[in-house]
Amino acid sequence: MPPTSQPLRKLGFLTIGLFDGADPGRGHESTLGIIELGEQLGFDSAWVRHRHLQYGISSPVAVLAAASQRTRRIELGTAVIPLGWENPLRLAEDLATVDLLSGGRLNPGVSVGPPMHYDQVKEALYPDTADVEDFGYERVQRLLDFVRGKSATDFSGVEGFEVFSDRVQPQSPGLGRRMWYGGGSLRSAQWAGEHGMNFLTSSVVKAEDPEKSEDFADIQLSHIRAFRAHHPDGDRARVSQGLVVIPTDSASPEQRAKYTAYVEKRTPRTVTPQGPARMMFAPDLVGTSAEIAERLHAHAAFQEVDEVAFALPFSFEHDDYVQILTDIATRLGPALGWQAAT
């Protein structure tokens, strides 16, 4: 097995937190239970996805606030909050609050762009300002400024019995260094680096230049290198990779059959760029931990990182996630040079 450039230093996982619309509490409890299990297994981080007007977590900051009170060590992240749905000032308040409640364990990941199906939701989301909202990088910059302590107003001081601050309150020391950008394009990678963020790269990238490689790993590698080339920390800038991995070491025959069918159904989209945006999807990695580790060691982008947040597949049962997480922590992680946190 060819070695990576360095052992895996941080092992995390990502869950979408699906639920039954008729019983949403059960799904949220399942997500919290998975995060608790992750801490018990020694994972370094747990991340939640963000879904609006779907049967998945719509309020990850609230879910992580609950998780912060059920755990003591594991880092808690969002991958990612789409800022088109958010007011950066209000979000900065929420993030700082949860970071303080967690003891400085929050890792907020964000992205930009118009909300999905914007024409259908804009009247509900921005009834008075839909046509003038800015969904570009400036929205991230506003959030970064507020989190990092820049003034939000020119007013501060005492008014009657109340004291006002010109900065978002609370302020949480260190949170500004734990802000992540989730990007799938070269420009996003460069922007995140230029603004001192950390970089989340997932199982989706853009094959922006039809004259260049359409190999997923090569494209992802170019994004990682562009990010670090523009970051003040250079090669030490933090990057986390988020591929879908499904180890089958302790899976039952029924689980293996389900996992294989899931991957086979999703594989055709990984062959060529998809849609006008030329999105490239990474193949899901299913098999024994030894087989997955061998494929990762040969992955050009994986060789450049020492942090991962492996994505759990959609639509599986709670017991499936327990098996997958247990195999990742006890077999796949060690095969990648990782040591469980204590």
pLDDT in tens, 74-101: 999 999 999 999 999 999 999 999 999 9
Please report the pLDDT score of residue 120 as a whole number: 97
Indicate if the pLDDT at residue 10 is higher than 60. yes
Mean per-residue pLDDT, 151-155: 97
Q: 196: helix, coil or strand?
A: coil
Spell out the domain ranges in the chain. 10-151+170-335
Tell me: the pLDDT tens digits for 312-321? 999 999 999 9
Beta-carbon-side half-sphere exposure of residue 204 (alpha carbons within 13 Å): 12
Please report the pLDDT score of residue 342 as a whole number: 80
Please report the pLDDT score of residue 154 as a whole number: 96
Please report the pLDDT score of residue 212 as a whole number: 81
Pairing verdict, β 157-159 and 198-201: unpaired
> For residues 85 and 52, what is the distance between their CA atoms, to the nearest angstrom?
9
CB 81 within 8 A of CB 50: yes
> Where residue 2 falls among pLDDT bands split at 50, 70, 90?
very low
Indicate if the pLDDT at residue 187 is higher than 50. yes
Tell me: the pLDDT tens digits for 229-260? 999 999 999 999 999 999 999 999 999 999 99
Please report the pLDDT score of residue 1 as a whole number: 38
Q: Among candidates 12, 73, 17, 21, which has minimal Cα distance to 46?
A: 12
Tell me: the pLDDT tens digits for 113-125? 999 999 999 999 9
> Where residue 36 falls among pLDDT bands split at 50, 70, 90?
very high
Per-chain mean pLDDT for the chain: 96
Mean per-residue pLDDT, 141-168: 97
Global pTM reads 0.96
More confidently predicted of 323 and 213: 323
Class of domain 10-151+170-335: alpha beta
Please report the pLDDT score of residue 5 as a whole number: 55
CB 142 within 8 A of CB 168: no
**Strand-pair partners of 181:** 110, 199
